Amino acid sequence: MRNGLSLKKQKNIKPTDNPIEVGDQWNISGIDPFSKLLLTLVPGKRTEANIHHAVADTAAKLKSGSPLPTTFTDGKSAYKSAILESFGRTYPVSRKSLRGRL
């Protein structure tokens, strides 16, 4: 989720600006699927390091052996590797029908 205070929007950044301080800022969050408790919140740039930190922190706070938390992403490829690294395997989502939307 894109959020909050940024000194400049991403499209207005100049080469002389500090890329850490200006541009789009994001909240990367991890939520317990059962209690809906917010376990992790990492504000800042949407970098691979921040994504890996958020997923690893969420995994560490969940009960050992608990199922994979519900994960909503914006499609950034770093989520897949971070989830595999932290949880160890993929968890397929069961489908209710054989086909998609009709």
What integer is the mean pLDDT of 6-34?
75
**In-domain check, residue 69:** yes
Is 52 contained in some domain?
A: yes
Three-state secondary structure readout of the chain: CEECCCCCCHHHCCCCCCCCCCCCEEEEEEECCCCCCEEEEEEECCCHHHHHHHHHHHHHHCCCCCCCCCCCCCCCCHHHHHHHHHHCCCCCCCCCCCCCCC
Number of structural domains the chain divides into: 1
Amino acid 44: pLDDT: 83
Of all residues in the chain, the percent with pLDDT exceeding 90 is: 11
Residue 99 domain-assigned (yes or no): no
Confidence of residue 57 (pLDDT cuts 50, 70, 90): very high
Give the mean pLDDT of 88-101: 68
The answer as to whether 72 is a domain residue is yes
- Comparing 70 with 48, the larger pLDDT belongs to 48
More confident residue, 61 or 63: 61
Overall pTM > 0.85: no
More confident residue, 76 or 22: 76
The whole-chain average pLDDT of the chain stands at 77
Residue 80 resides in a domain: yes
In a domain, 60, yes or no: yes
The answer to the question of residue 3 being in a domain is: no
Domain that holds residue 69: 27-87
Q: Would 14 be classed as within a structural domain?
A: no
